[in-house]
Amino acid sequence: MKLQSAAVHTRTAIVIVLVVLFVLLAGFASNGVIGTREATIFHWFYDLPAQLRLPMLLITQAGSTWMVVIVTCVLLALRKRLVALQILAASLATFFMVEMTKVMVGRPRPFVILSGVQSRERFVDGLGFPSGHTAVTAVVVLLLWKHVPPRYRWLLVLWLGLVSISRMYLGVHAPLDIVGGLALGFMMYELFRQYWGGVIEALKLTSHRKRLAKKRK
């Protein structure tokens, strides 16, 4: 019991730290400015060769809604229904958190703030902080982690890293947007990791009660 209690306190502390970190990052982003250091880091990736545009456009799709749909379908095909449901629910929750935060923070994208920067991705508008692609990819990668053999987990890290870099190369997110997306993704992962079991148990209990009610009729 003591070990379980300590584990619960540790996980709760992790969530609190991630929430505080995310709020601090949102506070920094709310001034709508990209500082000199952040701009320098941004240009490390944005100034990569123009020939990378097509590969980066393909890579960035690995953080899109289509990625979530594909991952969910693959898991369902493998009969991992609970994992598929968890990833779908966590992705949707993360997406809504991203959209709410963007409205609250109101930070424009780099191609609006920085001179000489253009979006290399068509049909991109709206606000910048946090990066939705990074946040959703982070939560999916973390939820998949224990279901992937250890020798292949480096691919998950590479996946998250490349999606994050692609967002800066395409000129649609600044480094602080990426860090904010990572923080939000980790925060949502911890929340789902802690409370998902309770949600599943509640669903099972509801289903069980419905079956009992049908039998009584």
Is residue 210 over pLDDT 90?
no
Q: Kindly state the average pLDDT of the residues 46-75.
A: 96
Is residue 194 very low, low, confident or very high in pLDDT (cuts 50, 70, 90)? confident
HEC secondary structure over 22-89: HHHHHHHHCCCCCCHHHHHHHHHHHCCCHHHHHHHHHHHHHHCHHHHHHHHHHHHHCCCHHHHHHHHH
CA distance 66 to 137: 11
∠ CA 160-165-167 to the nearest 5 degrees? 100
Q: Mean pLDDT across the chain, nearest whole number?
A: 90
Is residue 3 over pLDDT 60?
no
CA distance 184 to 4: 26
Provide the whole-model pTM.
0.88
Is residue 213 over pLDDT 90?
no
Is residue 177 over pLDDT 90?
yes
CA distance 173 to 2: 44
Is residue 206 over pLDDT 80?
no
Residues in the chain: 217
Query: What was the pLDDT predicted at 15?
Result: 86
CATH number of the domain where residue 117 is located:
1.20.144
Domain extent at residue 113: 2-216
Structure tokens at 137: 């990819």
Closest by CA to 22, choosing from 192, 183, 138, is 183
CA distance 213 to 165: 53
User: 123-162: per-residue pLDDT in tens?
Assistant: 888 899 999 999 999 999 999 999 999 999 999 999 999 9
Is residue 193 very low, low, confident or very high in pLDDT (cuts 50, 70, 90)? confident
Q: Kindly state the average pLDDT of the residues 71-87.
A: 94
Query: What was the pLDDT predicted at 93?
Result: 95
The DSSP symbol for 115 reads T
Q: How many domains does the chain have?
A: 1
User: 97-123: per-residue pLDDT in tens?
Assistant: 999 999 999 999 999 999 999 999 988
Q: List C-alpha distances in Å: 106 to 31, 58, 101, 103.
A: 9, 28, 8, 5
CA distance 60 to 68: 13
CA distance 40 to 4: 45
